[in-house]
Structure 1
Amino acid sequence: MEFVVDSMPDITLKFSPGECFLKCTNEEYKADACISADENELSILEASGKILLDDNSKYGSDHIKIHYGALSIFNAVYKMYYWATEATASKLHIPFLHARHDMIHLWSLGLCSSKLYFSKKVFKCKVPRDMTESKDILALGNLSWSYKCLLENSVKVIKTMKEEHEEYSLQKILSSGAESRTSLSTLLKLDIQKP
């Protein structure tokens, strides 16, 4: 994750390795790593134990846990910039990584329609054990590139959402003739609970 962040010098991102507490949820959530931009958390990483650990119950619980974390990040952005347009907000996708056994899985979470979320596996690759595993090294490069593109898109969409939110908030204060918008928070399932 860190080298992906370092590969984007035009965007100010912060990589927080080790157990970091997500600010976007009221319940305690410790991610194994987190990427944030300004006040927004953008992505998380969950590692299901050491490499080659073969524990399916841990994989399952961590898979559910990381989806909860990504959903919390997604909802926090919608709640923060609730006056952004639905057209812009619908483009938001939260990327996240789940490392388990000898694989890294890249996922993306978004909103299909009101209170209906989707989670899509974007890419997966095997962790190369040494420099002779060129296919795995190339696959890791492809996963990293895909992750970088998803992060850049998330930053761009959140920036636009922030601008639209601030512009509409100002219009509401300055004129009574501002267009009518529905708050984005009405599209969210607000009663999500930590598993």
Structure 2
Amino acid sequence: MQRAVILASTSRYRRELLARLRLPFDVQAPEVDETALAGETPRALAERLALEKANAVATHFPEAVVIGSDQVADLAGEALGKPGDHARATTQLQRMSGQTLVFQTAVAVVCGATGFTQRDLASVRVTFRDLSEAAIETYLRAEQPYDCAGSAKSEGLGIALLNTIESDDPTALVGLPLIRTARMLRAAGIALL
């Protein structure tokens, strides 16, 4: 019998992505402080939070295989998180205009009962085009991406903000690198296909 799979996330984007693998899973909210540590790089922050989220849920469900994930937008070494509101999203997009960012999307898979732990990171280089105030405002009103790292919602109208996307895992920018996730789930004993 296959172990239960739990997604340690409240993100609707991650839930929709994981559903693409067509395996049954539950969702549990991880209780994790997402504050960056002093001197922590965006990459290290994403990796630490992905593992902490998975471990937080695995503590309560030790027999399950638990997936944790986190994404941080990296603007020249500065972590840009979820803006939360229109004003902060406007500021983020103004700063990202014409810039290349790296979206660091980490995923961790753990199972307390077996001691299985794996973590990986997909880095996605994204170059934004020069954005006018009108373009930013139109985008924000249409998408309201206040729960997206760096205010970037590439699966919607946000794609019009971009010049290029470079990645080896196309779902990573949306919030869960499925190629890596599938590989780790197989390693944890979860049958796919």
TM-score class normalised by the smaller sequence: 0.3 to 0.5
Calculate the TM-score normalised by the size of structure 1: 0.36
Which structure has the bigger radius of gyration?
A: 1
- Structure with greater proportional helix content: 1
TM-score, normalised to structure 2, is 0.37
